[in-house]
Structure 1
């Protein structure tokens, strides 16, 4: 649920920034290039691999791992950057299911 909220918030910010740029485009040159809107292939593939790994677990199982990991701030931070499965295994050992 947090991921969905974060995605919606990022989309709203992106729309606001794009809308703000269009108002000033008459006086300022366009400094955006098409490279600003694309992700490098290795970054995208690592994200897709992480999604595939998470697909093996039900949303309830992943949520229970998140609840355990929320208690430890270091685990919660690692879960946001590396994924919940990697963070749980790093701080609590093998996944129990």
Structure 2
């Protein structure tokens, strides 16, 4: 951000006339396009690289959330008592969403 401000100040100080203004606008537009491209590429990379966490890494709040869902189903609730919340939730509702 500081670099951008310095470039902006330098452009304003050096510019005089229409040709410099057009060059400055083109530079600014190029910067914004590059920034948007990098943002989009970052979003793509995060969806590709995103990894599932192991079941042991769930927080207490996440485990409680799974328990609440599983308790509404009698069969899941009984399986939760014998096999654990992760196994019961996965058996009845599929993969853990977090």
In terms of fraction of residues, the more helix-rich structure is: 2
Q: With CA pairs under 8 Å and 6+ residues apart, which has the higher RCO, 1 or 2? A: 2
Q: Which bin holds the TM-score, normalised by the shorter protein?
A: 0.3 to 0.5
Tell me the TM-score normalised to structure 2 length: 0.43
